């Protein structure tokens, strides 16, 4: 009764503040962020991101499955490599290589530029070397198949199959090469080149004479 009206209002305000602190445990109420406040004001509008947080340069919008590269040479899914099946499957490439070789030979005959002619000659030599290597591999496979057939025949007859050593296989290869050179008439030139190479090797092994 002795307090003035202003003192009563001040005391009432202090009592309200103390009651609120007891209820909330003394914690201040969190203020809504700018994005939340904006979303509350306009629910249909898009959510605004804060400019204080930097946006990444590359952002993954859609999850893309990672590509797994597969090498068919070392993968079991491609099956086992068999030269006979491979050569039979891609036999059409031989006709394409033959056409390319004929085209290079025609261009080589018509060409007058020295530099281009030299490049065409190198390309033709490389094609011929690849062709010779392929023929050599084909003959080697045929020889191996022939030996396997002989072994199967011996096994069917109840005999013990034989397996040639590498030295014996090398002798057979040299015998076939000798017969082929003799048949084509290139045996003498081959032997002359062989003698020259052996003579050069022997000369290098000899001690130098001053």
- Judged against a pLDDT cut of 90, whether residue 126 lies above it is answered with yes
pLDDT score recorded for residue 99: 92
Residues near 67 by beta carbon (within 8 Å), at least 6 away in sequence: none
Per-residue model confidence as pLDDT tens digits over 101-122: 999 999 999 888 889 999 999 9
pLDDT score recorded for residue 127: 92
**By CB neighbour count within 10 A (0-12 exposed, 13-18 middle, 19+ buried), where does 111 fall?**
middle
Q: State how far the Cα of 157 lies from the Cα of 175, in Å rounded to an integer.
A: 29
Per-residue model confidence as pLDDT tens digits over 43-57: 666 767 667 777 666
The pTM of the full predicted model, rounded to 2 decimals, is: 0.47
pLDDT score recorded for residue 28: 52
CB 49 within 8 A of CB 35: yes
- Judged against a pLDDT cut of 70, whether residue 61 lies above it is answered with no
pLDDT score recorded for residue 122: 92
**DSSP assigned state of 66:** P
- Judged against a pLDDT cut of 60, whether residue 177 lies above it is answered with yes
Average pLDDT, the chain: 77
pLDDT score recorded for residue 41: 55
pLDDT score recorded for residue 84: 77
Q: State how far the Cα of 193 lies from the Cα of 199, in Å rounded to an integer.
A: 10
- Judged against a pLDDT cut of 90, whether residue 27 lies above it is answered with no
Q: State how far the Cα of 89 lies from the Cα of 83, in Å rounded to an integer.
A: 10
What's the half-sphere exposure (Cβ side, CA atoms, 13 Å) at 43?
Answer: 0
């Amino acid at each position: 009764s002795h307090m003035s009206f202003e003192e009563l209002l001040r005391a009432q305000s202090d009592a309200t503040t103390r009651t609120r602190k007891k209820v909330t445990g003394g914690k201040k109420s969190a203020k809504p962020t700018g994005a939340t406040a904006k979303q509350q004001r306009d629910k249909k509008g898009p959510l605004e991101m804060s400019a204080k947080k930097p946006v990444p340069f590359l952002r993954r919008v859609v999850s893309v499955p990672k590509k797994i590269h597969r090498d068919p040479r070392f993968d079991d899914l491609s099956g086992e490599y068999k030269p006979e099946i491979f050569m039979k499957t891609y036999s059409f490439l031989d006709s394409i290589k033959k056409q390319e070789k004929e085209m290079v030979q025609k261009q080589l005959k018509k060409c007058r530029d020295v530099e281009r002619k030299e490049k065409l000659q190198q390309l033709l030599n490389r094609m011929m070397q690849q062709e010779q290597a392929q023929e050599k591999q084909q003959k080697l496979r045929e020889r191996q198949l022939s030996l396997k057939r002989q072994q199967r025949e011996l096994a069917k007859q109840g005999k013990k199959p034989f397996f040639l050593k590498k030295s014996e296989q090398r002798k057979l290869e040299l015998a076939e090469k000798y017969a082929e050179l003799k048949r084509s008439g290139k045996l003498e030139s081959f032997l002359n080149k062989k003698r020259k190479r052996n003579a050069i090797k022997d000369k290098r092994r000899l001690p130098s004479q001053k």
